[in-house]
Chain A
Amino acid sequence: MNWSSWSEFFAMGGHAPYVWGSYGVTFLLMAIEVFLLRRRRNAVMRRIRRLARMQRETNE
C-alpha cells in the first residue's frame, strides 16, 4: 500500500494539482460528452415526432 492516510493520498506528495487536475478534467470531459449525447438524443426524438405530426396535419 502506498498511502498511510487519506490526506496523504489526496496530497499526492505535493503533486496534487497536477495529478487531480489531470484526472478531474479527463473524467469531467467524459461525463460532459455523455450528458450532451443524451440531451441530443432527446432533441432528435422530439424533432422527428414534430416533423411526423406536421406531415400528418398537411395530409388531412
Chain B
Amino acid sequence: MRLFSKDFWFQFASPKTFYPFAGKLIPWFAGVAAVLTLVGLYIGFFVAPVDYQQGNSYRVMFIHVPAAWMSMFIYVVMCAYAALGLVLNTRLSDMMAAALAPTGAMFTFVALWTGALWGRPTWGTYWVWDARLTSELILLFLYLGYMALRSAIDDPRRASRASGLLALVGVINVPIIYFSVKWWNTLHQGASVSLTSAPTMAKTMFAAMIVMTFAFWAYAIAVALYRVRLIILERERHARWVVELAERER
C-alpha cells in the first residue's frame, strides 16, 4: 500500500515536492473561503433574527467567535509543527510554523478588536482587565514575540530552534484562555457552544457562526500555504529548481 509507506509521506516533507503541491491546493481553499464567507454573511445578516436583549450588536459574534477560535487553533497547529521541527529536524515543519504565525496574530487582533467593539454596547466598556481578555492579549504577544525572535536571529537553524521552543512554552496559554471563563469570575460570558451540550442560541445564529468559522479556516489554510511557498523560495534561493522557476515566471 502506497499510503502506508514511509516514503509516500516523507516526499511531502521535501520543500521541492511540497511547493507545487501547495500551489495546487491554494485556489481551492481560497474559493471555499470566499463562498463560505458570502453564505455566512447572508445567514448572519439576513436570516438570523435580531437578538431580543442585545439588538443588532450581537452580529459582531459571527466574526468574533470564529476569529477567537482560529487564534487558539492556529497557535496549537503552529506549536505542533514547531515540535515536529524540533524533534524530527524537518525543515518544512519549521517553515509551516513560521507561515502560520502572522495569520494567527491577525486573527488574535481581530478577536480583540471585535471583542472591544462588542463590549462597548453590551458591557459599557471597550476593555477590562479580566482573565479571558488578558490571556487573549498575551496570545497576541506570544505570536508577535515568536515572529520577532525569528527575524532577530540570522542563522535559520538557530532561529527555528529558539522560536520553536518559545512556541512550545507559550502553548500553556491556550488552555488558560479556553478555561479562563470557568476558573475565574470574568465579565466575559462562558462558552455558548460545547461538545457536550446543545448550543444555547437560535439555530440560525449558530449556523452563521459555524459557516464563518469554516470560512476563516479555509482562508487561514490558503494564506498559510501561500506564505510557506514564499518561505521555501527564500530559503532555497540557491537551489537550481528555484532559480529556474523564478526565471520562467518573468
A residues near B (Cβ < 8 Å) are 1-3, 9, 12-15, 17-19, 21-23, 25-26, 29-30, 33-34, 37, 40-41, 44-45, 47-49, 51-52
Q: Are B223 and A22 in contact (CB under 8 A)?
A: no
Q: Are B57 and A15 in contact (CB under 8 A)?
A: yes
Question: Chain A CB within 10 Å — which of B56, B64, B247 has the most?
Answer: B56
Nearest-CB residue, chain A, relative to B114: A22
B residues near A (Cβ < 8 Å) are 45-46, 48-50, 55-57, 59-60, 63-64, 67, 102-103, 106, 109-110, 113-114, 117-118, 120-121, 219, 223, 226-227, 230, 233-234, 237-238, 242-243, 246-247, 249-250
Contacts A2-B46, A23-B63, A52-B247 given; does A41 touch B230 at CB 8 Å: yes
Q: How far is the CB of B239 from chain A (nearest CB, A)?
A: 10
Q: Are A26 and B223 in contact (CB under 8 A)?
A: no
Q: Are B243 and A13 in contact (CB under 8 A)?
A: no
Q: How far is the CB of B111 from chain A (nearest CB, A)?
A: 10
Q: Are B243 and A22 in contact (CB under 8 A)?
A: no
Q: Are A25 and B230 in contact (CB under 8 A)?
A: no
Give Cα A44 to B120, complex, Å: 43
Contacts A15-B56, A18-B120, A37-B227 given; does A52 touch B102 at CB 8 Å: no
Question: Chain B CB within 10 Å — which of A2, A25, A45, A48 has the most?
Answer: A48
Q: How far is the CB of B180 from chain A (nearest CB, A)?
A: 22
Question: Chain B CB within 10 Å — which of A12, A15, A23, A37 has the most?
Answer: A15
Besides the known contacts A19-B60, A33-B223, 6 further A-B residue pairs in the complex with CB atoms under 8 A apart: A13-B55, A21-B117, A41-B226, A48-B242, A48-B246, A52-B246
